[in-house]
A and B are shown apart, each in its own frame.
Chain A
Amino acid sequence: MTPTPPAPAGTSPSSAGFSFRRLTALCVKETRQIVRDPSSLLIAIVLPVVLLFIFGFGISLDTNRLAVGVVMEDRGVEAVRLAAAAAGSPYIEPVFADTLAEISEKLTRGELRGIIVIPQDFTAKVQAGGGEASLQVLTDGSEPNTANFVASYARGLYESWLAARADAYGVPFSEAISIEPRYWFNPATISRNYLIPGSISVVMTIIGALLTSLVVAREWERGTMEALLATPMRRAELLLSKSLPYYVLAMLAMAICVLIAVFIMNVPFRGSIAILLLSTSLFLGSALGLGLLLSTTTRNQFNAAQGALNAAFLPSALLSGLIFEIASMPAAVQAVTYLVPARYFVKIMQTLFQAGDVWAILLPNMLFLLVSSIFWLGLTTWRTRRRLDG
């Protein structure tokens, strides 16, 4: 081999300013890496499915067949009709008893999730009219979520009883009792319709942050960052190449989540796709930005991924209002929730799925998402160095 030195360059490249060619080259490189490294695809495709099923069915399995005691102190026709509604419900497994004393012990032991007492005067009061008939619902307050479900089911039973009664007598049931529109839905899907869109927000926070948490740190660990920094590449080109491909990937994950929610979990979607796209994009600025920031500052894949998992999951699950009501938090904690982007996204998702394009709710939340994205991406840009030192 007789080595010949390369001839001088034929072009006179310039380094000034932003170059789309460099950005494209970096994005192509990043995309090739994504395609060849299964971990990114795993995070974007498999993880949302797994997480969503855990969030979705974890809850619905619990609620599908709740053991609930039904105490029949009254044996009148209306009480029997109500008992029949309970027996026919796919969501509870009724355990019938004549007196509360018979089964109250079972509630204490946790064998029953709640007890519905049909009082002695139930039939009489219903037939007398005037809406004074009442049911007593006993639930286990130490498990507030389950307790809420049981309460919802009791209301649901009441509604199906009313409906059956309306059929039988041909009278509109609205006459008998005033019903809040919220409970028009099937009791089981009340919780699902509310929880699944919120869960998607949590899932997307985790996925967005995880996806980008690895990418800058990987360049540092493998020593390629030093070589990149020694080229005319600009900071903006680097950051964009580290966000755009992952934005596409995260959108894919989002699509998977929404499709699962709508077609497999049968959660109705009432908003518009365009708004969903726009708000998801606004939200991903924060999620991807958080991952990038961790990746940039730690320069270590393991630490960045650990950080992303904690920083994304914990606040989005605990402080977004999905599981715990924000209004019932202490004032200081409430103030902190304003910094959690998932808080706004949860609200947007719940609105889009359950109510549709309600601008009064969507607009302020989208505005907050925009501010939050600017904050996280800005912080990342500020922390990204064109040199190895500060």
Chain B
Amino acid sequence: MSEPAVLLRGLGHRYPEQGKGEFALAEVDIAIRSGIITGLAGPDGAGKTTLMRIMAGLLKPSAGSVAVLGLNPVVDAGILHLKVGYMPQKFGLYEDLTVMENLVLYADLRGVGGEARKVQFERLLDFTDLRRFTERLAGKLSGGMKQKLGLACTLIGTPELLLLDEPGVGVDPISRRDLWGMVTSLAKGGMAVVWATAYLDEAERCDELCLMNEGRLIFAGTPAEQIGRMRGRCVQVRNLSGNRRHFLRKALGSTGVVDGVIQGESVRLVLKEGTAMPDAGLMASEAGAKAVPVEPRLEDAFIDLVGGGPDGRSVLAGTMPDVKLPEGVDAEAVIRARELTRKFGDFTATDHVTFDVRRGEIFGLLGPNGAGKSTTFRMMCGLLTPTSGEAQVMGIDLKRSAGEARQKLGYMAQKFSLYGNLGVEQNLLFFSGIYGLKGQAREKKVSQMMESFDLVRYRRTNAGELPLGFKQRLALACALMHEPPLLFLDEPTSGVDPVTRREFWMHINALVDKGVTVMVTTHFMDEAEYCDRIALIYRGRMIAAGPPDALKHQVASDDLPDPTFEDAFIRLIQRDDEAQRDKEGRAT
């Protein structure tokens, strides 16, 4: 093989605002080849974007050497910008310009004109399937189309190196698959492609892989290498008769288990090296349960590389009292939606949605961006008034007494709504005050929360400066201050590393054991598997509902006997699209 397209040696970077001992990147050695897709994977804050910006010549690294296509990105920036296509996280599109105006702008900036421009535009419009939309404003495109346009703009001038920073974020799985197909064909044509992602399932499909964690490269090689290493160590425990959450907790506490997650009715375990089956003691507790070897995933390898997941215990469980429902509240419907509808102008964001949530259940709202899951969620926690229909929590009508209802629920917003310049203890005191805790009870609750979530050592640290995982713990602690019987979580773990995500779900599982009812929105397919039941929201309507396994079962076919949850998601949406088209076809 010829010279690598990118060669990084001993690369390190520290931002001016970072203190001593802190860094964005340290001792990174990577070689990226042409003709393949190299995945740059890791959780948020791992250093992916910093690395991309250095390769694009937008940041000067503080240490080490960089060669991109044989050039030094800092010195030869001018030539480099012609040869490198860089798509930043927000696409870099002008939303108030049309598709064609965006293309023309980038063509002029890259000096592509005349006949060459015509030829390239033709090809790119075919390639991205955007021809029908050339006169549309970029801001009016869907997430998936925006991303294709972003890619098209980046490809003008035919770069030799393509840098894509998290192109999968904010895009539904169907568009993501389209995009993947396009990028694969570009790589086959000889381009060097770097695809940064926080989704490990996405990284798994790359030809080569650079795994990052906390600014360091923890692995470079092929995904197959990592997955091969894990082969024989992954099992799915099926036919669990007892509570699968209890089984998971027990399993994570046992010595042979590195990691475990809930998958519908089953529990998936990753075992220590050299162990093929979970230990007999553990299995003995579940008569009839069967451990079946399953194909390893990249996430298993990642967890293993960073030293295993949490041990399954949540100290929180000890401090939360059991939830007792007041007289007259139906345990089968502590949360209740009837024909719930919300309109914004003539746009119907939520369209006649009906469901009940039982006490102690985890109920998930899943759907592509803009499908209406957030609108539905906000109506259920009293932040939005329904246009019509009924929304109740604990028997309280949210239309009439939203204030009273809100006292019954804990709410954790997407971007932890903490006060970044208040300390941990100050945040806890503030939120306990909001929920009406006073005097000794308040002091006691605050110190209890700090102990449960291991926040004591950070008590004086500003919330904004906490590591991500601790920020999330603090946000959860604030939401639980008033011991609410209901917990509402809006995209609780987006952008969080897999270990922290597991730990978060341990706490949620512990709460559910105490009878807390949880309603959660998510776009993580893995996270959906933790739910007892899922409502799939698409174009404002609830197009499917049921336990995750039942949804998977609905789409199982001869071609796909054992579909993943993502397969189920895509198939169900496609079916709905087809049904809608049929309906329209008949109507005309």
Interface residues of A (CB under 8 A from B): 1, 3-11, 13-16, 19, 21-22, 24-26, 28-29, 32-33, 36-37, 222-224, 226-233, 386-390
Contacts and interface: CB of A to CB of B under 8 A. Distances in A.
Contacts of A229: 58
Interface in B350-409: none
30 contacts: A4-B126, A5-B127, A5-B185, A5-B188, A6-B123, A6-B124, A6-B158, A7-B158, A10-B115, A14-B111, A15-B79, A15-B81, A15-B82, A19-B111, A21-B111, A25-B109, A29-B97, A29-B101, A32-B96, A223-B90, A223-B92, A224-B93, A224-B94, A226-B88, A227-B86, A227-B93, A230-B56, A230-B81, A387-B60, A388-B59
A389 B61 CA distance: 10
Contacts of B119: 7, 10
Contacts of A224: 90, 92-94
Interface string B51-75: 0010011111000000000000010
Given A4-B127, A230-B84, 7 more contacts: A9-B112, A13-B157, A19-B111, A22-B109, A223-B91, A224-B92, A227-B87
Contacts of B101: 29, 32
Contacts of B112: 9, 11, 13
Contact of B158 (A9, A29, A33): A9
Q: Is the interface of A mostly helix, strand, loop or mixed?
A: loop
B136 to A, nearest CB: 13
A232 B82 contact: yes
A28 to B, nearest CB: 8
B123 A22 contact: no
B114 A11 contact: yes
Nearest to A34: B96
Contacts of B124: 6
B110 A222 contact: no
Interface string B321-341: 000000000000000000000
Nearest to B90: A223
Contact of A11 (B53, B74, B91, B116): B116
Nearest to B79: A15
B114 A232 contact: no
A32 B138 CA distance: 13
Q: Interface centre among A3, A10, A222, by most B CB within 10 Å?
A: A3
B218 interface: no
A223 B78 contact: no
B123 A7 contact: yes
Interface string B114-133: 11100110011011010000
B109 A226 contact: no
A238 to B, nearest CB: 10
Contacts of B77: 386-387
B105 A226 contact: no
Contacts of A389: 15-16, 59-60
Given A13-B157, A232-B81, A29 B53 contact: no
B78 A388 contact: no
Interface of B: 15-16, 53, 56-60, 74, 77-79, 81-82, 84-97, 101, 104-106, 108-116, 119-120, 123-124, 126-127, 129, 153-155, 157-158, 178, 181-182, 185-186, 188-189, 191
A388 B86 CA distance: 14
Nearest to A11: B116
Given A14-B111, A223-B90, A232-B78, A3 B182 contact: yes
Given A222-B90, A222-B95, A230-B84, A1 B129 contact: yes
A21 to B, nearest CB: 6
A228 B92 contact: yes
B191 A231 contact: no
A229 B115 CA distance: 26
Contacts of A19: 111
A229 B87 CA distance: 11
Contact of A231 (B15, B53, B106, B186): B106
A32 B94 CA distance: 11
Contacts of A21: 108, 111, 113
Nearest to A23: B108
B58 A230 contact: yes
Contacts of A387: 57-60, 74, 77
Q: Interface centre among B59, B153, B158, B178, by most A CB within 10 Å?
A: B158
A40 to B, nearest CB: 11
B53 A3 contact: no
A13 B110 contact: yes
Contacts of A33: 94, 96-97
A228 B155 contact: no
Contact of A223 (B53, B89, B111, B114): B89
A257 B126 CA distance: 51
A38 to B, nearest CB: 11
Contacts of B90: 222-224, 226
Contacts of A36: 96
A230 B95 CA distance: 18
Nearest to B56: A230
Given A25-B108, A29-B97, A33-B94, A6 B81 contact: no
B120 to A, nearest CB: 6
A232 B123 contact: no
B13 to A, nearest CB: 9
A301 to B, nearest CB: 14
B6 to A, nearest CB: 15
A217 to B, nearest CB: 15
A294 B200 CA distance: 41
Contacts of B158: 6-9
Contacts of B108: 21-22, 24-25
A101 B329 CA distance: 83
Contacts of A6: 120, 123-124, 127, 155, 158
B92 A227 contact: yes
A13 B111 contact: yes
Contact of B58 (A16, A226, A232): A226
A195 to B, nearest CB: 39
A1 B175 CA distance: 13
A36 B77 CA distance: 33
Task: Identify the 5 closest CB pairs spanning chains A and B, nearest first.
Answer: A227-B92, A13-B111, A223-B90, A25-B108, A10-B116
A33 B138 CA distance: 13
Contact of B82 (A1, A13, A227, A390): A13
B109 A231 contact: yes
Given A15-B79, A388-B53, A230 B86 contact: yes
Contacts of B191: 5
A390 B87 CA distance: 22
B185 A9 contact: no
Given A224-B93, A227-B88, A232 B56 contact: no
B123 A390 contact: no
A7 B120 CA distance: 7
A22 B123 CA distance: 23
Contacts of A228: 92, 109
Contacts of B123: 4, 6-7
B58 A388 contact: yes
A14 B110 CA distance: 9
A199 B379 CA distance: 51
B583 to A, nearest CB: 25
Nearest to A8: B158
A105 to B, nearest CB: 57
Contacts of B154: 227
Given A7-B123, A29-B97, A15 B111 contact: yes
Contacts of A8: 158
A226 B111 CA distance: 18
Nearest to A231: B109
Contacts of A11: 111-114, 116
Nearest to B116: A10
Contacts of B89: 223
B305 to A, nearest CB: 30
A9 B178 CA distance: 24
Contacts of A26: 105, 109
Nearest to B150: A227
